[in-house]
Amino acid sequence: MSFLPIADAAFYKLSDIRPEYLTRRGIRLLLLDIDNTLSPYGTEEPTDEIKAWVSDMKNAGIKLFFVSNNHGERPSIFSEKLDIPYIKSAGKPSRRGALAAMERCACSKNETALVGDQSYTDVLCAKRCGITAILVRPIDLKSPHFAVRYFFELPFRIAAKEKHGRCKR
């Protein structure tokens, strides 16, 4: 097992991941990062696109579960608005939150994927757990902090095993 933060698949944005992509691979549980994956920082209202995507996933029988490093109220706010259970302060790349979510959903490693926008937290967490790692492009790249981090993650983004849609890096 590799502990390099190289994703199994890269998508441009969360809603580009379609339920059929996951079901074809036997994935029944999708662990979700929130900040800059589901919603940019500073926004607490899911977009209509995200609401439709969540609905599509649920209708296809994919369980969703937030595993967020956020210590504040955002995980509970999005949990309530989208009816998705959550674990906050997960400490990714620690395995703790992801393993707890898998246990609560009674899903095995082979049935679980984690999607997030950061190589060193989200992808590395998935690799350490032995589950499928899916990387998306951060929603907000305007702030210098996010842009610099994205730049340093580029080699790992480019190395992602599968690239889908507009996600060329």
Residues contributing to the site for Mg ion (CB under 5 A): 33, 35-37, 117
Q: Which is nearer to Mg ion, 57 or 67 (CB)?
A: 67
Smallest distance, Å, CB 78 to Mg ion? 12
Q: Are 19 and 57 in contact (CB under 8 A)?
A: yes
Smallest distance, Å, CB 58 to Mg ion? 22
Spatial separation of the C-alpha atoms in residues 123 and 142, rounded to whole Å: 22
Q: Which is nearer to Mg ion, 75 or 107 (CB)?
A: 75
The two structure tokens encoding residue 28: 């029944």
Spatial separation of the C-alpha atoms in residues 121 and 11, rounded to whole Å: 17
Smallest distance, Å, CB 63 to Mg ion? 20
Smallest distance, Å, CB 52 to Mg ion? 21
Spatial separation of the C-alpha atoms in residues 114 and 51, rounded to whole Å: 19
Q: Which is nearer to Mg ion, 149 or 163 (CB)?
A: 149
Q: Which is nearer to Mg ion, 59 or 144 (CB)?
A: 144
Q: Alpha-carbon Rg of the chain, whole angstroms?
A: 14
